């Protein structure tokens, strides 16, 4: 398998949930513990909260995300999200 395919498989996907509908608004750089570091063309307000679903390695969980910081220069802005109220990871079902 190519390195690009391996990297794509290794990256988590984080969806914002609005009335149960998922919206792919972020490029996930990393999720470590209860902090997600993401990039987005949208600027969310510090303290803003929303429901999210995280998919990674065939597992999925939901959580509440709260914008805790924006770091880096404007052209490379990284948004840090604090994840709380995480559900237990479960296997993704496709099809």
Which residue from 52, 57, 55, 38 is spatially nearest to 84, judged by alpha carbons?
52
pLDDT (0 to 100) of residue 70: 95
Higher pLDDT, 1 or 60: 60
- Domain residues for the domain of 17 are 3-91
The C-alpha angle with vertex 32 and arms to 29 and 33, in degrees rounded to 5, equals 150
CATH number of the domain enclosing 52 = 2.30.110.10
Residue 8 pLDDT > 50: no
Q: Strand 35-39 to strand 27-32: parallel, antiparallel, or no bridges (unpaired)?
A: antiparallel
Q: What is the pLDDT of residues 26-83, one digit of tens each?
A: 999 999 989 999 999 888 999 999 999 999 999 999 999 999 999 998 888 999 999 9
pLDDT (0 to 100) of residue 43: 86
Return phi, psi of residue 4, to 5°. Answer: -65, -40
pLDDT (0 to 100) of residue 7: 47
Domain count, the chain: 1
Dihedral angle computed from the Cα positions of residues 79, 27, 62 and 86, in that order, rounded to the nearest 10 degrees: -40
């Amino acid at each position: 398998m190519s390195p690009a395919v391996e990297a794509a498989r290794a990256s988590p996907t984080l969806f914002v949930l609005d009335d149960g509908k998922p919206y792919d608004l972020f490029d996930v750089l990393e999720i470590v513990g209860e902090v997600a570091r993401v990039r987005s063309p949208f600027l969310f307000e510090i303290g803003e909260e929303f429901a999210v679903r995280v998919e990674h390695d065939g597992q999925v969980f939901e959580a509440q995300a709260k914008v805790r910081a924006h770091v880096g220069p404007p052209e490379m802005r990284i948004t840090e999200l604090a994840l709380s109220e995480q559900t237990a990871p479960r296997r993704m079902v496709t099809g």
